[in-house]
């Protein structure tokens, strides 16, 4: 079967995702997490089979064991805005000086931006009781992810300081497990809040009842410099930008199962 370049690239990207979920299934002690990883892995394999049926996908991947393509993305986190302009409007940086994994650095930067810039502004949007309670629940998940990131940063920085080779090998193994966990949990969080704010934005656009101040403008404490990004912006524009930011973050992280048409009316 002859594959197009786009199909070849997609197969290689799906293979990378499949390996990440396989790693979670092998290393996780959480039965619920393993179950979710198995579901995602089956979806990825089904998609690979749909692209190249009858074993053609496996044949291509065995013959082409090279690295996964980057789809035009820069290897440097500092250049991510060239491919993802909405992400580029907020600071993108390494989570630690020796962190070289692009996706890890993107996820870390998105979480920092979510806490420092989005959270103060989005808290000014008045939602109905159920949505407000759900929004508040997101913060505890963010705090857990921050703790994961802190531990991962410490592991990454311990590697070059290790003297013995066996210690370095152990630390690298720890880094791999921690990165997989961070990506898995962080990806689930981004998908959850993306869906939440997409629903809020669609309700605002439809002049629905869930947002009580849809015609207001965001006013934050001007002493919080990092939160000034949304100062004076309308609630509608703030919600729209939030959805687009999360959409690009999920795309940049190559997270599976993001419906491609859900944001077509946001621009």
Q: What is the total residue count of the chain?
A: 267
In-domain check, residue 70: no
Q: Is 231 exposed, middle or buried (0-12, 13-18, 19+ CB in 10 A)?
A: middle
> What's the angle, vertex CA 212, arms to CA 208 and CA 217, rounded to 5?
110
Reported confidence tier of residue 77, pLDDT bands at 50, 70, 90: confident
Residue 137 CA to residue 141 CA, distance in Å, equals 7
Q: 151 with 242, same domain?
A: yes
**pTM of the entire structure?**
0.70
% of the chain beyond a pLDDT of 70: 85
In-domain check, residue 21: yes
Distance CA 219, CA 231 (A): 5
Q: Are residues 177 and 240 in the same domain?
A: yes
pLDDT digits (tens, 9 = 90+) for 102-113: 999 999 999 999
Please count the structural domains in the chain.
2
CA 41 to chain centre: 17
Q: Does one domain contain both 27 and 141?
A: no
Which band of pLDDT confidence, cut at 50, 70 and 90, is reported for residue 90?
Answer: very high
> Would you state the pLDDT for residue 65?
59
pLDDT tens profile 16-33: 777 777 767 766 667 777
182's tokens: 């961070």
Q: Are residues 141 and 192 in the same domain?
A: yes
**Interval 73-98 mean pLDDT:** 83
Residue 100 has pLDDT above 70, yes or no: yes
Same domain, 160 and 227: yes
Query: Is 52 found in the same domain as 105?
Result: no
In terms of domains, do 157 and 222 share one? Answer: yes
pLDDT at 55 over 80: no
Please state the rounded mean pLDDT for residues 48-63. 77
* 243, 201: one domain: yes
Mean pLDDT along residues 186-200: 95
User: Which residues constitute the domain of residue 13?
Assistant: 5-63
CA separation for the pair 70, 90 (Å, rounded): 21
User: Residues 215-251: pLDDT tens digits?
Assistant: 999 998 777 656 688 999 999 999 999 999 999 999 8
- Which of 194, 180, 211, 212 is closest to 250 using CA atoms? 194
């Amino acid at each position: 079967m002859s594959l197009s370049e786009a199909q070849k690239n997609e197969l290689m990207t799906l293979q990378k995702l499949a390996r990440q979920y396989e790693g979670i299934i092998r290393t996780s002690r959480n039965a619920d997490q393993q179950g979710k990883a198995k579901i995602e892995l089956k979806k990825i394999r089904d998609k690979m089979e749909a692209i190249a049926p009858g074993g053609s996908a496996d044949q291509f991947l065995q013959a082409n064991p090279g690295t996964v393509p980057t789809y035009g993305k820069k290897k440097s986190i500092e250049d991510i805005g060239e491919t993802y302009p909405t992400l580029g409007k907020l600071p993108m940086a390494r989570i630690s000086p020796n962190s070289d994994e692009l996706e890890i650095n993107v996820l870390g930067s998105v979480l920092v931006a979510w806490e420092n810039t989005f959270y103060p502004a989005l808290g000014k949007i008045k939602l109905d009781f159920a949505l407000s309670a759900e929004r508040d629940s997101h913060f505890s998940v963010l705090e857990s992810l921050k703790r994961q990131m802190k531990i991962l940063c410490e592991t990454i920085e311990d590697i070059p300081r290790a003297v013995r080779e066996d210690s370095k090998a152990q630390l690298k193994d720890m880094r791999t497990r921690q990165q997989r966990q961070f990506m898995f949990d962080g990806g689930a969080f981004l998908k959850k809040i993306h869906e939440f704010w997409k629903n809020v934005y669609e309700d605002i656009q439809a002049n629905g009842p869930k947002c009580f101040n849809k015609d207001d403008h965001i006013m934050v404490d001007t002493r919080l410099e990092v939160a000034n990004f949304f100062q004076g912006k309308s609630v509608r524009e703030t919600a729209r930008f939030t959805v687009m930011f999360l959409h690009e973050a999920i795309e940049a992280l190559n997270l599976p199962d993001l419906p491609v048409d859900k944001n077509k009316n946001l621009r």
